[in-house]
Structure 1
Amino acid sequence: MDASFLRQLVTVESAPAALAPLPLRPQRSITKTYPAVPQRDSTEIELAAISRPATHTGLGHGGPATPDLESSRPASPLMGRAPSSSNHHHDDDGVEALQNIWDPHMNRFRLLSACTMNFANGMSDAAAGPLLPYMEKYYTIGYAVVSLIFVGQAIGFIAGAGLIDPLRDRLGRGRALLLSQLCMAAGYALIASAAPFPAIVVAFFLLGLGISINLALGNIFCGSLAASTTALGAMHGSYGIGGIVGPLLANAFVSVFGLVWSTYYLVTLGLAVGNAVLGLWAYWRFEAEHLLDDDDDVLTAADNLTATTTAAAAAATATAIPPSQPHHHYHHHTATMLTSKLSTLLSTLSSRVVLLGALFIFAYQGAEVSISGWVISFLQDTRASSTTNTNTNIGYVTSGFWGGITLGRFLLALPAHRLGERPFVYAVVLGATVFELLVWFVPNVVGDAVAVAIVGLLLGPVYPCAASIFMRTMSREDKLRGMGVISAFGSSGGAAAPFTTGLLAQVVGTWVLHPIAIALFGAMCLSWWALPRERKRRE
């Protein structure tokens, strides 16, 4: 085969004068701080708003559109959510992404705010025990009448539970926390002025109202973080620290410095003012940052869709309805919204997790506050000697109880998480029952003080463990309302049980504290056993 035949099979062309440029190096990919969370870079890559008006309204052909297999994805419960006015690029991808304490940056200050508010709550609640005998002498009242302060605080908690969701929607979290601290500051001002006893009951109502709001919002924030058990342990451990400091200061004010019992509440008044400033600053841009709130992502999608539909319907109605009818249409729409909110609230109240969780926390806080509030009176009635020094030192037993709670929340939270919260709670409640029996039957002040401290140590991690289980078991849309109901019923238990103890102590004696506490421990175990198992998250 000669070369001429091969040249017929190949066509040789000369090179063009200008070669095509090589492709440029692709841009650097956007780095995300943690997986499954939309990036917060200032450059918007996709889904950017189109500034020019639409010029094409259809497909241009009658056949079906060919799907884009590369850019399509399965539908998720969060798709279709209207973007936030402040951050259009924070688009949900249908995957639940938990924040942590350090990212976003302001989360560390929000956790600090939750801890300082709970610290002040602990100082307020724990001081009632050492100050009860002095309040009785100051107002010349008995156990039954002085117990009305617990009733006032319980009514405030219940009222606050119904206001948490509306306040958060209307004011935002920062302003809602500001309002809660202002209510508490007003209550502390009344108590510090040693107002007449009916005003003191009203003051404790204001305290319950404020604590209910900040406690529910703090539980929701800490429970929605990664490692929620640790965050909740820090928050409620701060409550325990306040429970240590409060009785120490209160007892020192009245027994060492000889001050009026109401002087102590000047300290808590200053804390309320400081917490108001810190909470408002820490949560000031909480909504503007469009954080992935674990408690209402799904609700926001539904609310935005409803709002868009309602706006479109209102625009269409404005041109079709005569001027005499829009007023009736507005009231009909308002009634529909109220009916929807009422049905949502009833759905939350009918949840098995919410009901059993409320019963559990009712019994837990009832036992906790009853022991804290009445163990001093029990020891003074049955264990005190004739020496003044012994009677003065008894006032510090409450600090030992709250010291045990604090150590339990900080030291036992990790073992509880590793062993499993469910069996761990059974073990510590059983141990608390044993040591409560020792306080009842061992006639020794030192031994009783040690046993009371161990009861606090064992009860310490119960609340963080329970809150973590509740948050993991409830659906996302029930978390805020559910935790609000649980907190309110729990705190009302912290009022009903001490009030019942005071009524019975007036008749039979302060020893009635112990059977009431043991009965509440039994109610805790029963409600804990009846709680449903954790479901797999499918949102």
Structure 2
Amino acid sequence: MDPSLFGTIIQVESKPNLHEHVLPTTPKRVVSRTYPAVPQDDSIELDSLRSFRNGVNTSAPTTPRTERDLEMSYPGTPVEPLEPVDAVDALPTLNNPPMNKYRLASCCFQTFLGGLTDSAPGALIPYMETHYNIGYAVVSLIFVGNALGFIVAAAFVDKIRQRLGRAKAIAVSMVCIALGFIPLVCAAPFPSIVIAYFFIGFGTAIALAIGNVFCANLQNGTTMLGAMHGSYGIGGTIGPLVATSIVSTGSIWSRYYLLTLGFTLWNLCFSTWSFWDYEKELGEFHALSETTSRGMDQVAGMLLAIKSRVVVLGAVFIFAYQGAEVSISGWVISFLITARNGDPSSVGYVTSGFWAGITLGRFVLSPIGSKVGEKLFVYLLVAGATVFQLLVWLVPNIIGEAVSLAIVGLLLGPIYPCAAALFTRNLSRREQVNGMSIISAFGSSGGAITPFTTGLLAQAAGTFVLHPIAIGSFAIMTLCWFGQPGTRKRTE
């Protein structure tokens, strides 16, 4: 050792007076400690809790530490960063909240009313033509009025839902439908009938868009949509039976719409009651799983939905689907009367068989679609419907055609709920209402343009044109379904 260094040490140690005992002072604590056995001030603990913001301890000491510091030897509780709320897919169930079962029932009642409304013209068109002294082309304008109502509603349905909430939006839709049925009950001049169908279409579009999104966002959405649209089939089955019974007894065709008007008033009360506290009761689910488009410009929201491949292909798909469905329902009776010499008072019941098939298909076959996979299942259904539609066209037997037509309805029934489930899963939360509104509007447009075109061609060439138009619609459906993206796992 260096002698000078050793001397320095001796000098330092020798400076204090050996007879004076100086106690060392207690060092100040840099980090406060807490012990379970010692009562603590609650304010300290609350302050420490408040100091954690977004997973970061804002009150932590800034004194540098090393890895060998004793304070660093005890692992702290890991704080995970908060995930975005939209990453959690918390879907409500039929019984949670408890009012959901009544809301599903109200959606079923609304589509039941839609079935009563859409299926009746098939049986009533021959009598409307006689009452107003018009032909196929002119009477087909009722389908155009209905479609225009859907198209106009598509631009406003999400804005109405945001401003009023679901309960009041559905109430507005039922009021519009009731206003549309009043001229029909009164057998007003035919231009008023076309305008009445516009109000019916506008109101139905609002209720249908809200109902589709509600059911699709429940657990087992495909099954819930099957129940909702199966109710449409029940209404479609009952409608022609009641309408044919009314007109066959000699009553004027407009008396049928007393039934639909009364049921609309029931829907107005029941649906408004069931959805009244929807946003309040499902607040936690909306906070986790539904991003609303509040603050987004409505036009921008519509443009965003239109740019989606899911919406574009889905709109064309439903356009073709509803075009085929409404054309078959609306014109097959005229085909059986003119091409097969059927009795109007009896063949009117054939349409009920078609809608009964749709009803059975939606209730029984829709759950199979969710198990097999919607993509493959719809291919099989469209292929089968095409085969039996050819039999309706080529077999010159009314009974055989009635059976084949019922099977066509059975196979077409599950297509809409399967497609709606796939579209909703492939759309983001922000796009769902706008996207499904556009798809519904195009569907109603198909349900107007295709029957209207069928009426024009039937006037010129004959009612047989119904069948190639329906088969062509099935081909368009297949192409659009092929281009539809597969189901993705929602990440937003």
- Cα separation, 2, equivalents of 1:536 and 1:234: 24
The equivalent of 1:515 in structure 2 is 468
Work out whether 1:458 is the aligned partner of 2:411. yes
- Report the residue type matching 1:449 in the other structure: A
Q: Which runs of 5+ in 1 are unaligned?
A: 1-20, 24-45, 51-57, 80-93, 307-336
Tell me which of 61, 83, 90 is aligned to 1:76.
83
Work out whether 1:148 is the aligned partner of 2:141. yes
Whether the 8 Å CA contact 1:117–1:214 is kept in 2: the answer is yes
Tell me which of 223, 230, 234 is aligned to 1:230.
223
**Once the two structures are superposed, what CA deviation does each residue of 1:363-391 show, in whole Å capped at 9, x if it has no partner?**
00000000000000010001125xxxx43
The equivalent of 2:155 in structure 1 is 162
SS in 1 for 2:85: coil
User: Which has the larger Rg?
Assistant: 2
- Report the residue type matching 1:284 in the other structure: W
Work out whether 1:259 is the aligned partner of 2:215. no
- Cα separation, 2, equivalents of 1:475 and 1:64: 46
Whether the 8 Å CA contact 1:295–1:477 is kept in 2: the answer is no
The Cα shift of 1:297 comes to 4.6
Tell me which of 219, 224, 246 is aligned to 2:239.
246
Whether the 8 Å CA contact 1:180–1:214 is kept in 2: the answer is yes
Whether the 8 Å CA contact 1:220–1:295 is kept in 2: the answer is no
- Cα separation, 2, equivalents of 1:467 and 1:64: 59
The equivalent of 1:309 in structure 2 is none
- Cα separation, 2, equivalents of 1:414 and 1:485: 26
User: Runs of at least 4 residues of structure 1 off by over 4 A?
Assistant: 58-66, 292-298
- Cα separation, 1, equivalents of 2:252 and 2:286: 46
Identity among equivalent positions (%) equals 53
Superposed CA RMSD in Å reads 2.4
The Cα shift of 1:537 comes to 2.1
- Cα separation, 2, equivalents of 1:353 and 1:161: 16
Whether the 8 Å CA contact 1:412–1:461 is kept in 2: the answer is yes
Tell me which of 193, 196, 200 is aligned to 2:193.
200
**Once the two structures are superposed, what CA deviation does each residue of 1:341-383 show, in whole Å capped at 9, x if it has no partner?**
3222211110000100111111000000000000000100011
SS in 2 for 1:187: helix
The equivalent of 1:485 in structure 2 is 438
- Report the residue type matching 1:346 in the other structure: L
- Cα separation, 2, equivalents of 1:471 and 1:205: 27
- Report the residue type matching 1:272 in the other structure: T
Work out whether 1:362 is the aligned partner of 2:319. yes
TM-score by length of 1: 0.76
The Cα shift of 1:491 comes to 1.2
The Cα shift of 1:62 comes to 6.0
The equivalent of 2:15 in structure 1 is none
- Cα separation, 2, equivalents of 1:423 and 1:398: 28
Tell me which of 385, 404, 408 is aligned to 2:357.
404
The Cα shift of 1:75 comes to 3.2
Tell me which of 260, 268, 273 is aligned to 1:281.
273
Does the C-alpha gap of structure 1 residues 22 and 364 become closer, same or farther in structure 2, counting only changes over 3 Å? Answer: same
Matches within 5 A, 1:520-535: 520-535=473-488
Does the C-alpha gap of structure 1 residues 421 and 131 become closer, same or farther in structure 2, counting only changes over 3 Å? Answer: same
How many residue pairs get aligned? The number is: 432
The Cα shift of 1:193 comes to 0.3
Matches within 5 A, 1:113-512: 113-255=106-248, 257-292=249-284, 297=289, 299-300=291-292, 303=294, 340-384=297-341, 390-512=343-465
- Cα separation, 1, equivalents of 2:213 and 2:193: 30
- Cα separation, 1, equivalents of 2:106 and 2:77: 45
- Cα separation, 2, equivalents of 1:102 and 1:60: 46
Does the C-alpha gap of structure 1 residues 60 and 435 become closer, same or farther in structure 2, counting only changes over 3 Å? Answer: closer
The Cα shift of 1:59 comes to 4.3
Whether the 8 Å CA contact 1:212–1:487 is kept in 2: the answer is yes
SS in 2 for 1:280: helix
SS in 2 for 1:159: helix
Whether the 8 Å CA contact 2:92–2:285 is kept in 1: the answer is no
The Cα shift of 1:71 comes to 7.1
Whether the 8 Å CA contact 1:400–1:449 is kept in 2: the answer is yes
Whether the 8 Å CA contact 2:317–2:477 is kept in 1: the answer is yes
- Cα separation, 2, equivalents of 1:353 and 1:63: 56
- Cα separation, 1, equivalents of 2:112 and 2:78: 50
The Cα shift of 1:291 comes to 3.4
Does the C-alpha gap of structure 1 residues 61 and 445 become closer, same or farther in structure 2, counting only changes over 3 Å? Answer: same
Does the C-alpha gap of structure 1 residues 70 and 250 become closer, same or farther in structure 2, counting only changes over 3 Å? Answer: farther
- Cα separation, 1, equivalents of 2:89 and 2:289: 9
Does the C-alpha gap of structure 1 residues 288 and 64 become closer, same or farther in structure 2, counting only changes over 3 Å? Answer: farther
Q: Which runs of 5+ in 2 are unaligned?
A: 1-35, 39-45, 51-57, 66-71
Q: Greater CA deviation, 370-379 or 434-443?
A: 434-443
Structure having the larger proportion of residues in helix? 2
